[in-house]
Homo-oligomer: A and B are copies of this chain.
């Protein structure tokens, strides 16, 4: 008997953890992993640690790593002093393919591989596609990656360089998902959607476990996350809840959710409708219909975090500020979190002298350079 199962996030129905199952059979809700036996835990995924984390694999030997995770946390002296707030960045662009996605992908591909899957389909704005391409190659799997033709050329090239088949879609991020779903149906290939796969969030959980070590148990009170589909946002929360359940931490930080004004289905407070969609430089969060939207909203509510929308101009401005003030070059999607931080401080949702952690989610090298 497996030590974990899938559980519907809407109706709580349990399902056998089959990699082909991405939605609840009863209500079509999204699924998450639930552990029925916590004995199957591994420590070595989380560096520097005595800390175990439950994972949906039979054993650690099934885990395929390209060296993801255990990213450094750096102080941000100039921006901290600008805001009179203690700000830290966790450098997720220092993952093997240049984004935090590698955490989720490593776990998802390992789980699929362990269940004998040899060919997969994925859709992505670019980062997840490159990540899945690399790990699928590592696992000896064939991968079809759907990405918008309008994605930065470097991301499209990166998807191809690892040997996967790129399906460039002349349409929006949401139309790319639709094209992938159609292909999956037609070809009967496993849909390894990083947005829907419950395994993916089990991988991004490592971020939450690591910060427990990074800050010597004193996790900052605010974590500001750029949110498209919310796979990092939800992974961090799941980790923190596990740590609290095990009485390793007492209080949970506020998890703030940042979106681009042009595409803000969560931050618009339910005034959003798909027809309002505009393009954004923050391609990683250009998601008009996030399938885990209600999960993100639930975490926002539980954690006391704030959802905030940022302008295109502020995103680019912060991308440049991070490079020229702190020596950190990230993609626009990551910079959006700092634009959001500025708003949250101005609106007093984050007060002076509070501690703030921001994941710097992706590398600037993969996107269009700022002018």
Residues of A within 8 A of B (CB): 47-48, 65-67, 70-74, 91, 94-98, 133-138, 154, 157-158, 161-163, 320, 323-329, 363-366, 369-370
How many copies of this chain are found per oligomer?
2
Contact A154 B66 (CB under 8 A): no
Residue of B nearest to A363 (CB): B365
Contact B70 A327 (CB under 8 A): no
Residues of B contacting A320 in the complex (Cβ-Cβ under 8 angstroms)? 161
Residues of B contacting A94 in the complex (Cβ-Cβ under 8 angstroms)? 67, 94-96
Shortest Cβ distance from A166 into chain B, in angstroms? Answer: 13
Residue of B nearest to A160 (CB): B369
Shortest Cβ distance from A306 into chain B, in angstroms? Answer: 28
Residue of B nearest to A109 (CB): B327
Contact A157 B97 (CB under 8 A): no
Shortest Cβ distance from A90 into chain B, in angstroms? Answer: 9
- For A66, give its contact among B74, B137, B363, B370 (CB under 8 Å): B74
Contact B329 A158 (CB under 8 A): yes
Residues of B contacting A66 in the complex (Cβ-Cβ under 8 angstroms)? 74, 91, 327-328
Contact B91 A67 (CB under 8 A): yes
Residue of B nearest to A157 (CB): B369
Q: Give CA–CA (A323, B327) in the complex, Å.
A: 28
- For A365, give its contact among B134, B324, B365 (CB under 8 Å): B365
Which 8 pairs from chain A and chain B are nearest by CB? A67-B72, A138-B327, A134-B327, A163-B324, A137-B327, A365-B365, A157-B369, A161-B323
Q: Give CA–CA (A47, B162) in the complex, Å.
A: 30
Q: Give CA–CA (A162, B321) in the complex, Å.
A: 9
Could you list some 6 contacts between A and B, CB below 8 A?
A67-B94, A96-B328, A137-B323, A154-B154, A162-B329, A365-B366
Residue of B nearest to A72 (CB): B67
Residues of B contacting A72 in the complex (Cβ-Cβ under 8 angstroms)? 65, 67, 70, 96
Residues of B contacting A370 in the complex (Cβ-Cβ under 8 angstroms)? 161
Q: Give CA–CA (A157, B320) in the complex, Å.
A: 13
Instruction: Report if A162-B324 is in contact (Cβ < 8 Å); known contacts: A47-B47, A48-B47, A366-B365.
Output: yes
Q: Which of A71, A137, A365 has the most CB of B within 10 A?
A: A365
Residues of B contacting A133 in the complex (Cβ-Cβ under 8 angstroms)? 327
Residues of B contacting A74 in the complex (Cβ-Cβ under 8 angstroms)? 65-67
Contact A329 B48 (CB under 8 A): no
Residues of B contacting A134 in the complex (Cβ-Cβ under 8 angstroms)? 323, 327-329
Contact A161 B329 (CB under 8 A): yes
Q: Give CA–CA (A73, B96) in the complex, Å.
A: 11
Contact A365 B329 (CB under 8 A): no
Contact A154 B365 (CB under 8 A): yes
Q: Give CA–CA (A364, B74) in the complex, Å.
A: 24
Shortest Cβ distance from A206 into chain B, in angstroms? Answer: 13
Residues of B contacting A47 in the complex (Cβ-Cβ under 8 angstroms)? 47-48
